[in-house]
Structure 1
Amino acid sequence: MLRATAERMGLTDSAGNPVWLAPHDFRRVFTTTAVQDGLPLHIASRILGHRHLNSTQPYTAVFQDDLIRTYRSFIDRRRSTRPVEEYREPTPEEWDEFEEHFALRRVELGSCARPYGSSCEHEHACIRCPVLRVDPAQLDRLEAIATSLQQRIAEADERGWAGEVEQLTISLRAAQDKILATAPPRDPTVLLGYPTLPGGR
């Protein structure tokens, strides 16, 4: 039906060749028009039912500068509907607090990924914390900590400190998980040797 309609309309491209549309093309036309009119790409992605934003980007037949210009106009319209005080210049004290937060995110084993304005919920037990981002350069230090924890568990077990054993074991498991997540992947190649022929040939 679409091909027949296009033929009756006499649609042609710049080279004079007939143009016809498939049903799927309407998704592309909709997405391109919507993004050009200011719809954020991630919302268009949800409307199309895509799980990943990368799947939506090819649907938008717009250049990168068009996307930037559209996004800026969207932000301008968004700001015009918000209270002016939300976009005021921060005070020097607020800047100092902001910078201090990111300075405090640097820890022994890497960096803390907790969001700005939030306090540490794990009492600075970085080994156990899921938001610790281990610096690969500190992997040797992390392995040394895991070895130390094993020694402390053995001592606590020998002295009958069951509570210490339990707490240290939790920390050891967390350290081992972070080591596995941070360590570079091992080479899966296995050398099987060279085949030999009967008789030593």
Structure 2
Amino acid sequence: MTGLTNADGEALFFSPHNFRRIFVTDAIMNGLPPHIAQVLCGHKSIDTTIGCKAVYPAETIEAHRAFIARRRASRPGEEYRIPTEEEWDAFLSHFEKRKVSIGTCARAFGSPCIHEHACVRCSLLRPDPAQRSRLTDIRDNLIARIAEAEREGWLGEVEGLQVSLAGAQGKLDQLDAEAARRPSTVNLGMPTFADIADRTTTTSTDQHCP
């Protein structure tokens, strides 16, 4: 038992076979020939070694590349032309305008803001952890405005403020969830062959040269 837990809070258990799969995958992905990995692992069949390699086979990758090539060939050639200076400037300016006070807007290029810049309501806003205090101030201000509207009888304004409050609280919850996920990732490291190999050797004194 490692003492580590997954995203659901369940304990993680590792066996020597898990680390063998990690070792084989890392070794082959870094250029070690599969038949050498087979010898290191003591496998009788190279199919066993390939089965431990947690990557897609070459056939799958080549099939995907062929599919992409066919799709590109079927598209009009003018779509692959060099963009004009005006088009390139418009593209860059779109991303320059994505930064807002409480995070980054993730709407697609060329699309308008459907929420009229009411960012706390928008699902496309990626909140910035550094702006958590600003989000908290916005939420607290909305709570105070809702209380004032209810006290003054401005019932038509309460509903809109409650939608904004739910959005602001949702962004804070999103930041909390992301912060909770970060410490759960633990780097277990990669054992080297020297760490797991038996370094002791035995020589027989009964052997004689012919």
Cα offset, 1:97, TM superposition: 0.9
Give 1:130's aligned residue: 123
Correspondent of 1:39 among 42, 53, 63: 63
The offset of 1:78, in angstroms, is 4.7
Amino acid at match of 1:109: I
Aligned match of 2:102: 109
* Comparing 74-83 and 136-145, the one that deviates more: 74-83
**Matched AA of 1:108:** S
SS at match of 1:123: coil
Match of 2:133 in 1: 140
Distance 1:87 1:168, change over 3 A: same
1:162–1:83 CA distance, 2 compared to 1 (3 A)? same
Q: What amino acid does structure 1 have at the position aligned with 2:168?
A: A
Counterpart amino acid of 2:116? E
Deviation readout 1:93-136 (Å, 9 max, x if unpaired): 10111011111211110100111121111111101001100000
| Structure 2: runs of 5+ lacking an equivalent | 1-34, 182-210
Cα–Cα, structure 1 residues 81 and 170, in superposed 2: closer, same or farther, change >3 Å?
closer
Task: Provide the rounded CA distance (Å) in 1 between the counterparts of 2:131 and 2:88.
Answer: 30
Gaps of 5+ in 1: 1-12, 41-70, 187-201
The two structures have a TM-score, normalised by structure 1, of 0.58
TM-score of the aligned structures, taking structure 2 as reference length? 0.55
Distance 1:132 1:119 in 2: 14
Q: 1:60 is matched with which residue?
A: none
CA distance in 2, matches of 1:106, 1:147: 23
CA distance in 2, matches of 1:33, 1:151: 61
Of 55, 79, 84, 2:77 maps to: 84
CA deviations on 1:148-198 (whole Å, 9 max, x unpaired) are 111111111111000111111111111111112113349xxxxxxxxxxxx
For 2:60 and 2:131, the matched residues in 1 are separated by 47
Separation in structure 2 between the aligned mates of residue 102 and residue 20 of structure 1, nearest angstrom: 49
Partner of residue 146, structure 2: 153
Kindly tell me: are residues 87 and 161 of structure 1, through their superposed partners in 2, closer, same or farther at Cα, counting changes over 3 Å?
Answer: same
* Residues 54-93 of structure 1 mapped to structure 2, 5 A cutoff: 71=65, 78-93=71-86
| Cα deviation 1:57-116 (Å, max 9, x = unaligned) | xxxxxxxxxxxxxx4x77556544432211110001101110111112111101001111
Query: Aligned partners of 1:86, 1:109: CA distance in 2, in Å?
Result: 36
Query: For residue 175 of structure 2, what is the aligned residue in structure 1?
Result: 182
When residues 32 and 140 of structure 1 are mapped into structure 2, their CA distance, relative to the original with a 3 A threshold, is same
Aligned to 2:117, the other structure's residue is in SS state coil
Residue in 1 aligned with 2:161?
A: 168
| Alpha carbons of structure 1 residues 130 and 34: separation in structure 2 relative to 1, 3 Å | closer
Aligned residues: 136
